[in-house]
Amino acid sequence: MKSLFKPIAYIIMLSFITGCQDNILDTEIDPVDNNLPVIASLGNVDGLTTFSRGVYDFLSSEDVFESVGPEKESPMLWFTYGYHETMGDVLTMPWGNFGGRWVNQTQSVTLDDGTEVTPPAGGPQPGEIAIRNTRDAGSDNAIQYEWRDMYSIIVQCNTIEEALADLPADDATRDAFLAWSLWWRAYAHSRLGSIYEQGVVNESGLISNPTSIPSTQFVSNTELINRSNNFLNQLETLLNNVTDNAAFNSRFSSFHISYLTEKVDITELMENINTLRIRNLVYNTKVTDMTAADWAQVITLGNNGVSSNDGAFIMQSESSFIANGWLPSQVLGFWYFPSDRLIQDINPGDARFDDYFIQDPDQGFPFPNQRGRGIQYGASYFWQVNSGIVSNNDLEIKMYYAGSYEENQLFLAEAKVRTNDIEGGLAHLDAVRSLQESELPATVGTGLSQDQALEEIRKERRLALLFRAVAFYDARRYGVASGSRTGARVLDQNGNLNTNATINYGYLEYWPVPAFESDFNSIPSSLQ
């Protein structure tokens, strides 16, 4: 990829490790000299602006395929997002590259006639993840990537805050830098706490800790979510005290990669805070454990959440940066297939069905058992080459890092329906379908019961939020990820379609700490 850094800033970006003293993809790393000119480049506004923009390198790059410095980032919008989507069973992935196949390896499938089918190779997902959670597994250890990228962001943002101590700049400029740092730390802690059982607390940056001595302070995933919320609280306080919004927005906009067609301003940042707060609550709480007070909080936050996708944190493809290293391109390369369980959740007459999916006889569909690896990976449909979610054209498709309009509206829809405002909730559901041009009739005024309304919202979340890496969170909070789904659509070995199968997933609800961390940084027994 073409770096988005000035060379001097790029060296420092690649000089640290996330929280450990070894790297699973390269166990013979030469030491890097964090020389003074590199540190000095962070002492002026232009240098720190370039460095701040470098957060995107850990969010989007495909450097895992290149030998660049001591670190190799992963293409997050391909690997990490793909793992989440396969565990949420909106995508399937049968290939062993980068451990992807084993992340969505189900326990068993019971077909319509009662026949139980187990995977022809390997066992259920928890065991396969454990087998590969070693340094010797190299790039096949799928659980390493999100950890590494998120802790890289945390160290990056800690460094930004440390640099502010001696930065000659006006208050609005300093506020913008600190806001950028707080937002991405909140985001990174949210993602870590939403997928790993434990994490480390790393509060130092490259200025105070130039040799990246790792933190040994492990905490539970609950504490990681608390830390995310604390950063959001600090950010909200900061934004409420900004006195020059125009100057703040000008500097904050400069941290976004220049080609992005939307950049978040101070008002939109406040909305993103509220939607991320909802994520932290809803995605880490089982539906059965949510209280009326919790849902009331969701409504309050959602009313002030992301109100337009123009104000969301996004990525768009661009050949000199992200190129093909994300889902909208990789699915066309047969990396991921649309799950038949997603297909069955699409309502008849939904225009998105024909827009997104195709049965292409030239590709031999249906495809029941890719390379004999199991019917759990079967697929009846493939992707349209150009659609509302898939394209190889620059800037044509967006992917979302945090909240979006649709996600916020569906949070409101669910919260209102669950608190007996069914019509109010359905209005939010209809707004999402209208925005995405589903051409489905409105649900408001159709007399749906609470259960029927919740089922429409569940299905809508799977389609409307496709490629946004929230499907696993939903499957977990519904109790499906660690359990089963009945009445499922599954292709058998011969490509015959079963419509009342049972899929026993048995997935881990939270991942263990990656071995490249735990091998060098012992987890306290109290957290094991």
pLDDT at 490 over 90: yes
The predicted structure's pLDDT at residue 60: 80
pLDDT at 14 over 50: no
The predicted structure's pLDDT at residue 214: 81
- pLDDT grade for 68, boundaries at 50, 70 and 90: very low
Give the type of residue at 301: L
Phi-psi region of 79 (alpha: psi -120 to 50; beta: other; left: phi over 0): alpha
Instruction: Indicate the DSSP class of residue 331.
Output: G
Q: Report how far residue 401's alpha carbon sits from residue 34's, in angstroms, rounded to the nearest whole number.
A: 30
pLDDT at 71 over 80: no
- Poorest-confidence range of 61-75, 167-181, 406-420? 61-75
Q: Report how far residue 224's alpha carbon sits from residue 262's, in angstroms, rounded to the nearest whole number.
A: 29
179-180-182-188 Cα dihedral, nearest 10 degrees: 160
Q: Report how far residue 93's alpha carbon sits from residue 6's, in angstroms, rounded to the nearest whole number.
A: 37
At a CB cut-off of 8 Å and minimum separation 6, what does 8 contact?
37, 38, 41, 47
- Judge contact between 253 and 265, C-beta under 8 A: yes
- pLDDT grade for 28, boundaries at 50, 70 and 90: very low
Token reading at 129: 């993840």
pLDDT, tens digit, for every residue of 292-306?
999 999 999 999 999
Phi-psi region of 439 (alpha: psi -120 to 50; beta: other; left: phi over 0): left
Q: Report how far residue 175's alpha carbon sits from residue 167's, in angstroms, rounded to the nearest whole number.
A: 12
Q: Which helix (H) or strand (E) holds 173?
A: helix 171-193
pLDDT, tens digit, for every residue of 445-472?
999 999 999 999 999 999 999 999 999 9
pLDDT, greater one: 291 or 8: 291
The predicted structure's pLDDT at residue 92: 96
pLDDT at 35 over 60: no
14 CB-side CA count, 13 A:
25
pLDDT, greater one: 72 or 350: 350
Cis peptide before 31 (omega within 30 of 0): no
- Point out which residues pair with 399 in neighbouring strands: 315
Nearest to 261 by CA among 147, 127, 396: 396
Q: Which residue has the tokens 């793909």?
A: 82
- pLDDT grade for 26, boundaries at 50, 70 and 90: very low
CA distances (Å), 10 to each of 140, 152, 451, in order? 27, 13, 53
Q: Report how far residue 304's alpha carbon sits from residue 232's, in angstroms, rounded to the nearest whole number.
A: 14
Nearest to 76 by CA among 490, 470, 510, 469: 469
Q: Report how far residue 380's alpha carbon sits from residue 358's, in angstroms, rounded to the nearest whole number.
A: 9
The predicted structure's pLDDT at residue 361: 60
